[in-house]
Amino acid sequence: MKTEYSIITENLTKKFDDFTAVDGINLKIRKGQIYGLLGPNGAGKSTTIRMICGVLTPTKGKGEVLGLDLYSQAEDIRQNIGYMSQRFSLYEDLTVLENLSFYASIYSLTRGEKKERIAELIKMAGLEGKEKRLAGQLSGGWKQRLALGCALIHKPKLLILDEPTAGVDPVSRRIFWELIYQLANQGITILVTTHYMDEAESCDEVSFIFKGKILAKGTPEELIESKNANNLEDVFISYVEEQTGQKVKTSFNDMRFICNRKEGRKK
Amino acid sequence: MSFGRLITIVKKEFIHIKRDKSSLGIAIMMPLVFILIFGYAVNTDVEHIKMAILDQDKTLESRELIQKFASSNYFQPKIYVDNISEIERLLDKGNVKTGLIIPPNFSKDFKRGKSPMVQLIVDGTDPTIARTALQSGVLTGKMYSIKKHESIANKKGNILQGIQEIDVRTRVWYNPNLESNKFTIPGLIGLIMQNVTVMLTAFALVREKERGTIEQLIVTPIRSVELIIGKMIPYIVIGSVDFLIALFLGTYWFNVPIRGNILLLILLGFGFVICALAIGMLISTVASNQLQAMQMTIMIILPSVLLSGFIFPRESMPLIIQKAGYLIPLTYFLEILRGIILKGIGIDYLLKEIIILIIMGTLLLTIASIRFKKKLD
C-alpha cells in the first residue's frame, strides 16, 4: 500500500465558517503519475492542494502524503514535497541566483549540493545568463520556470503545482509541460490543477471537482469514452450541466461564430 | 532550531532592505529629521511674550516698571497704545499675548506710600504661555514695588517696616535652568527608536503575506521561531544604529550630556529595541496587508506619545489614564533614559523598570511566535 501511492485522502473536508470549500474528497494518486485536478474557478482545487501541502488544516477527513500522516507528520511531509503556488511566489527583489540559493539553504543543502543543484536547475529552466537578473524583471514564462526550479531544489519525491500555467504564453506553456514529462519520467509524482483542457488530456489520470465534490475520475480516455464525447472539455461541460441543470451555452464549438464574424469583417 | 536556516533568513532580509531604498531611507533619515524637528519644536520654555502697553502715567516710575518687564526676558514690550480698546484689538488679532495697563496715578501712589495698581491682561488660550505670563508678571511687579518702597523710605531716612517673610532658598537639581530640551531630548530618543523599529518590522512579515511568498515559505521545513527571529535581527541592527544616531545628536547638537553610564544606556537601549520589534512582529501577524499594518502602527504610536510621559507629566493624568500608561513599554524606557541621561543614576535605581521591560519583551515575542503558526487559516 505504502509503496504504491503517493497521496491518499479519505473524506477530506474544509469549511470556512458556513461555506464548505472542499466536501469529502477521496483521492488515490499512484507514484510516478501525473495527476490532474480539473474544475472551474472556486471549485475547491486550490483548497484541496493547500490541505495536502499542510498550508491549511483540514476540518475533517484523513490523509497520507508519501506514507506520512497529514496531521502528525506535517513537517516531514514538507521536507519531501515541492510546491508551486498560483502566483509564482518568488522574491521579486532578489535575483534568480539569490532566489534559488535562498530555498537551497532553507532546505539545508550542503555547500556542494547547493552549487551542483543550482547549476542543474538553471540549465533545466533555461535561465543561463540570467542568473544576476532580478526575479521581478523576468517575463511570465521565465518566472514560472524559476518558481519550478525553487520548488525542485531539494529533489522532492512529489511535486504539487497549483495552476502553474495561468497567465503564461502558449510557447512557455509547452516548454513547461515538456519539463513536467521529464520529471515524471524520473519517477516524481506530480499533482497539478488546471483549467486548460489540453493540459488535462496530458495527465495520466484526472478528477473533476465541482463545488467541492469530485464528480468523476479516471484516465482522460476513459472519461471521454464514458460520455461518448469528442474531448475532455465536452465531458467536463456535460458534467457541469448535469449538476446545475442548465445548459452551458458557450462551449468552444458554439463560440466559433465569433471567429467567422471576424473573418467576415476583414473582407 | 537550525542556525543555518536562521542565517539564511537574516541574509535574505538584509538583501530586501538593501534593495528597498525608501525603507532604508526612512530607517536612517527618521531619527535625524525627528530629533531635529522635535528638538526645536517641543519647547515649553516660554520667553519674549509679546506685550502691548497702555502707559497713562508716563513718569519715570512707569517707564522703570516697563523696563523691569522687558529685562525679565519673559516679556517683550512691543506696541505702545493710547486706549484700552486698542489693547483689546491687538489681543483679538493675536498680535500680542499680554497687555499692561498703568493707571495715571501710578507714581503718585508710590510717593504717598500707597500700593499702586496696574493691570496685566493675559491671553489664556495657550495655558503654558498664560501661566508663565501670570507668574512672572506678578513677580516682576512685586519685586519692583519692594525696591521702590525701599528707596523711597531710604530717601526719607526711614527703615522700611516690611513684613517678615519666610526665606525659601530654592535649588533645582538635574536641570537647574529648567531647560525643556533636557526633558524632551532623552524622551525623544526613546520615541524615535520605538517608531522606526515598530514600523519597519510590522511591514516585514506583512510584505510576505501580501506578495504570497509566505505560502511558499510555509511548505518549506522552516520553523516559525527561525522565521521570526531571523526577520528581527536586521531590524535590531537598524534600531541600534538609530539609537546611536539619536543619542549622538542629542548629546552634541542639543547639548544634553549623558551623566550616567553610557554602556548601561546602550545595553538597555538594545533591550528596548527588542521590545519594540516584538510589538512590530505582533502587528504583522495580525495584519493581512500593509495598509492595516500602517493603521495598527499608528494606533500604537499615538497613545505611546501621549501616555508614556513623553511630553505631558503622567502625574497630572487621571488614575485610569496613568494606569494605561503602565501598559506601554516606552513609559519604562523613558524613566530609564531620563534617569541615566539627566540624573546619572545606576542600575540599582532602575531595576524595576528593567525587569518589567524584560517581562514585556518576552511576553510579546512569545505571543507573536504562537500567533504565527505557519498556516494560512
Over the stretch A154-209, which tens digit does the pLDDT of each residue have?
Answer: 999 999 999 888 878 889 889 999 999 999 999 999 999 988 888 888 899 999 99
Amino acid at B205: L
Pairwise CA distance, residues B132 & B250, whole Å: 26
pLDDT tier at B372, thresholds 50, 70, 90: confident
- CATH number (domain holding residue A43): 3.40.50.300
The better pLDDT of the pair B167, B173 is held by: B173
pLDDT at B99 over 90: yes
Among partner residues A83, A93, A106, which is closest to B16 by beta-carbon distance? A93
**Exposed, middle or buried by CB within 10 Å (0-12, 13-18, 19+), for B157?**
exposed
What is the pLDDT at residue A1? 43
Among partner residues A16, A55, A91, which is closest to B218 by beta-carbon distance? A55
B chain contacts of residue A51, beta-carbon cutoff 8 Å: none
Among partner residues A56, A79, A90, which is closest to B375 by beta-carbon distance? A56
- Residue A94 touches partner B, C-beta closer than 8 Å: yes
Domain of A58 in residue numbering reads as 5-86+157-266
What is the pLDDT at residue B296? 93
What is the pLDDT at residue A42? 83
The better pLDDT of the pair B42, B54 is held by: B54
> Cβ A83–B377 below 8 Å, yes or no?
no
CATH 3.40.1710.10 residue spans of chain B:
49-156
pTM beyond 0.95: no
Q: Which of A32-41, B95-104, B163-172 has the lowest mean pLDDT?
A: B163-172
Amino acid at B131: R
User: In chain B, what percentage of residues exceed pLDDT 70?
Assistant: 96
pLDDT at B176 over 80: no
Among partner residues A57, A78, A108, which is closest to B375 by beta-carbon distance? A57
pLDDT at B323 over 80: yes
- Residue B125 touches partner A, C-beta closer than 8 Å: no
Mean pLDDT throughout B254-283? Answer: 90
* Any domain includes A16: yes
Q: What is the DSSP letter of B221?
A: S
Q: Which of A108-112, B148-152, B309-313 has the lowest mean pLDDT?
A: B148-152
- Domain count for chain A, please give it: 1
* Any domain includes A82: yes
pLDDT at B101 over 90: yes
* Best residue in A53, A105, A153 for a mutation probing chain B (most B CBs within 10 Å): A105
What is the pLDDT at residue A83? 93
CATH of region B49-156, choose from 3.30.530.20, 3.30.210.10, 3.40.1710.10, 3.40.50.300: 3.40.1710.10
* Any domain includes A65: yes
What is the pLDDT at residue A203? 93
Both ends of chain A: CA-CA distance in Å?
Answer: 63
- Residue B95 touches partner A, C-beta closer than 8 Å: no
Mean pLDDT throughout B333-361? Answer: 91
* Any domain includes A152: no
Burial A68-102 (b: 16+ CB within 10 A, else e): bebeebbeebbbbbbbbbbbbbbbbbbbbbbbbbb
Q: How many residues does chain A have?
A: 267
> Cβ B12–A50 below 8 Å, yes or no?
no
What is the pLDDT at residue A10? 92
What is the pLDDT at residue A267? 44
Q: Is residue B52 a contact partner of residue B81, using CB atoms and an 8 Å limit?
A: yes
What is the pLDDT at residue B164? 56
User: What are the residue ranges in chain A where pLDDT is below 70?
Assistant: 1-3, 247-267
* Any domain includes A95: no
- Residue B23 touches partner A, C-beta closer than 8 Å: no
* Any domain includes A93: no
What is the pLDDT at residue A117? 95
